[in-house]
Amino acid sequence: MKKLLIDVDTGVDDAQAIMIAMAAPNVQVLGITCTHGNTALENVCRNTLRVLKVCKRLDDVPVYRGSSEPLLGRVLRAADFHGKDGLGDAPDPEAPGLELLQSEGAVAAMIRMVDDNPGEVTLVATGPLTNLALAVKLDPSFPEKLKALYLMGGNTDSRGNTTVCGEFNFAADPEAAYIVLNQFCCPTYIASWEFACHNNLSWSFCDTWLAQDTEKAHFMKKIFKHTMKVCLELERFQKEMCAGVGFTPCDCYAIAAAIDDTFVTESEQVAVTVELDGTNTRGMMVLDYLDMLKKKHKVSIMKKVDLVKFKAMLMGALQ
């Protein structure tokens, strides 16, 4: 069994990623830690509990409240894309309450779970990296005790989706992204914004995916309606700025790669950092192809994936 610790800012694509992890037969999710990002922290916590409820996993997957704001700088939200509540503004009157959250804080829980399972835990982060940055500041040995780190975030071609040159998760806390990419020495795998766009799926597949007659599919169709509408309205822009149009479940790529070692079919090893000072480039991931940073630690930048396996994981998540 692979042991996963998942750090989220649960919007719609985080929900999709969590559901993939819940459906994976070879995975034990030790816990889910919540951070600010797509929506306010309290919404993230509620949304995570809602996803676990529909997956019937409230009893065995603990959820922890984490950082409510970035280390520095202004707070970013993605309400236009995910809805104000993060799940498409499609409320559930019977949603579980915040009393189900663990009393232990997210950062302390992360450190404890990794200490209890040294060398065994794969950490998957699909939101701003504030919790991870705080963990390494509290325990500098935290990264070396991880088995691996999988991130959805950053960009490789300076094509921003939030700022001129910044991807949302990194732009939402550039200092945290800088700390993680410069202080985490474990094997690190990054699903960047451009990578996700280049490996997207067709809307016809999305229709088939959502057409499954299950409680999970009905839930996903409900919360995904707002985001789908936004995506379809922006398709011309996406085609010009990235690699085409279609269904791009960004956070699912990181989860899929963490679950299946054969999922990524092409990647490149390169040293990276994050720009903190630029007027237009703050939060941009920098790839050091010239080895000017003289960093020993290289990350693995995902390039291509097995889309057949990806479709199967997504289909299975809603069954």
Query: What is the rounded distance in angstroms from the CA atom of residue 254 to the CA atom of residue 240?
Result: 25
Q: Is 9 a catalytic residue?
A: yes
Tell me which of 7, 9, 14, 173 is the catalytic residue. Answer: 9
Give the residue numbers marked as catalytic.
9
